[in-house]
Amino acid sequence: MMNISGILLAAGMSTRMGQPKQLLPFGHSTVIDTVIDTLMASQLVEVMVVLGHQRQQIYQQIKPKLTGQRLRIVDNPDYRAGMLTSVQVALEQISPSSPAFALMLVDQPLITAGTINQVLEAHRLTTMPITIPQYRSRRGHPAIFDSQFIAEISALGWESRGMKEILDRHREQIHYLPVETDSILRDMDTPQDYQRLLKASTR
């Protein structure tokens, strides 16, 4: 079975939320705890959590989970320059035994391990080097890329459009997987978004 590494992008400044969204209460713990638990319950061979803004505070929250080598922390000192820098710093440290990696956002706590595994399995079966889940023709996460893109992603500069540029360059190489849940789309940038996800999590 193809090894696929997971990269959790959790270094952002949560500007529109007004406080670190990673540490907001969710379920029985916090948003970041919920997402990490989901990733660790999936078939990902490793989970790399990229931290930046409020690094120490968030690290202390998730430190009890760092009991083995499957979950790792990656520091991004350039987080203010945008999400692409978090992807790039994680790819510098990705396991060489993983021929693919999955990108996840920290503010999508409704995604389940079952949905992640569905996308992982689809990527293992397709001949396309990129797999993205879709809900009603809208693409979401996790987005999976073969390692052949690492050099190209690492070469992107601050003036680029980040991963969107990679997707545009290789649009003919994307396998879109229709899924039956909108959790792959639902993130939270504002307090109103957060309240909506809280309500959805209790249904």
Q: pLDDT (tens digit, 9 = 90+) per residue, 25-57?
A: 999 999 999 999 999 999 999 999 999 999 999
Q: Is 203 helix (H, G, I), strand (E, B) or coil?
A: coil
Q: What is the dihedral of CA 85, 46, 151, 106, to 10 degrees?
A: -30
With CA atoms as reference, report the closest residue to 181 among 103, 102, 130, 116: 116
Q: What is the CA radius of gyration of the chain?
A: 16
For residue 149, the model assigns a pLDDT of 98
CATH code of the domain in which 184 resides: 3.90.550.10
Query: Is pLDDT of 1 > 90?
Result: no
For residue 173, the model assigns a pLDDT of 98
Cis bond before residue 142 (omega within 30° of 0): yes
Query: Is pLDDT of 130 > 90?
Result: yes
Q: pLDDT (tens digit, 9 = 90+) per residue, 56-88?
A: 999 999 999 999 999 999 999 999 999 999 999
For residue 120, the model assigns a pLDDT of 98
Predicted structure pTM score = 0.97
Q: Where does the pLDDT of residue 106 fall: very low under 50, low under 70, confident under 90, or very high at 90 and above? A: very high
Alpha carbon 57 to chain centroid, angstroms: 20
Instruction: Say if strands 100-105 and 143-146 run parallel, antiparallel, or are unpaired.
Output: antiparallel
Contacts (Cβ under 8 Å, ≥6 apart) of 152: 166, 169
The residue range of the domain holding 183 is: 4-201
Burial of 47 (C-beta count, 10 Å sphere; 0-12/13-18/19+): buried
For residue 202, the model assigns a pLDDT of 87
Structural domains of the chain, count: 1
Please give the helix or strand (H or E) that residue 133 lies within, else none. Answer: strand 130-135
The whole-number average pLDDT for the span 158-174 is 95
The whole-number average pLDDT for the span 106-116 is 98
For residue 158, the model assigns a pLDDT of 86
Q: Is the distance from CB of 20 to CB of 195 less than 8 angstroms? A: no
